[in-house]
Structure 1
Amino acid sequence: MSIAKEIAPNLPYLRRFGRALSGTQASGDAYVVAMLEALVVDPSVFPRDVNSRIGLYRTFLKLWSSVGLNINAATSGFERSSAERNLEALTPRPRQAFLLRTVEGFSIEDVASIMEVSAAEAANLVQLAGQEIAEQVATDVLIIEDEPIIALDIETMVEELGHTVTGVARTHREAIASVAKKRPGLVLADIQLADGSSGLDAVNEILAAIDVPVIFITAYPERLLTGDRPEPAFLITKPFQPEAVKAAISQALFFDRRAGRKAA
Structure 2
Amino acid sequence: MTLNNFSIRKPNTVLIVEDEPLIALDIEQTLMNAGHICEIHTSNGDALRLLEHNTPASAILDIALKDGSSEQIARSLVCRNIPFLICSGSRSDDMADVFRHATWLPKPFEPSRLLDTVADVIAQRAIQGEMEQRA
TM-score by length of 2: 0.78
Which portions of structure 1, spanning 4 or more consecutive aligned residues, are displaced by more than 6 angstroms? none
- What residue number does 2:90 align with? 220
How many residues are paired up? 119
Superposition pairs of residues 47-196 of structure 1, within 5 angstroms: 139-165=12-38, 167-195=39-67
Structure-2 residue corresponding to 1:204: 75
Aligned: 1:241 with 2:113: no
Tell me the CA shift for residue 146 of structure 1: 0.3
What is the CA–CA distance in structure 2 between the aligned matches of 1:232 and 1:245, rounded to whole Å?
Answer: 18
CA apart distance, 1:239: 1.3
Superimposed CA distance per residue, residues 112-154 of structure 1 (whole angstroms, 9 cap, x where no aligned partner): xxxxxxxxxxxxxxxxxxxxxxxxxx61110010001100001
Percent pairwise identity = 25
Q: What root-mean-square deviation, in Å, do the aligned CA atoms of Structure 1 and Structure 2 show? A: 2.0
CA deviations on 1:197-244 (whole Å, 9 max, x unpaired) are 111232113322x111011000013323x8x67614411111111111
Equivalent position amino acid for 2:78 in 1 = L
Instruction: Give the 3 Å change call, closer, same or farther, for CA 169–258 of structure 1 in structure 2.
Output: same
1:102 equivalent in structure 2:
none
The amino acid across from 2:23 in the alignment is: I
Larger relative helix fraction: 1
- Structure 1: distance between partners of 2:13 and 2:65: 22
The within-5 A match list for 1:10-21 is none
Q: In the superposition, relative to structure 1, how do residues 260 and 206 fare at CA in structure 2: closer, same or farther (>3 Å)?
A: closer
Deviations 1:1-38 (A, max 9, x none): xxxxxxxxxxxxxxxxxxxxxxxxxxxxxxxxxxxxxx
Q: Structure 1 residues 219, 254: closer, same or farther in 2, change over 3 A? A: same
Higher relative contact order, structure no. (Cα contacts within 8 Å, ≥ 6 residues apart): 2
Contact 2:83–2:102 (CA under 8 A) maintained in structure 1: no
Give, in whole Å, the separation in 1 of the partners of 2:17 and 2:43: 7
Max Rg structure: 1
Contact residue 216 and residue 232 of structure 1 kept, 8 A: no
Name the counterpart of 1:86.
none
Please name the residue that 1:84 is paired with. none
Distance 1:158 1:199 in 2: 21
Q: Deviations over 1:154-201 (max 9, x none)?
A: 111111221111x21111111111112321110100000122x11123
Structure 2: where are the runs of 5+ without partners? Answer: 1-10, 131-135
AA at the equivalent of 1:252:
V
Do the aligned partners of 2:58 and 2:84 also contact (CA within 8 Å) in 1? yes
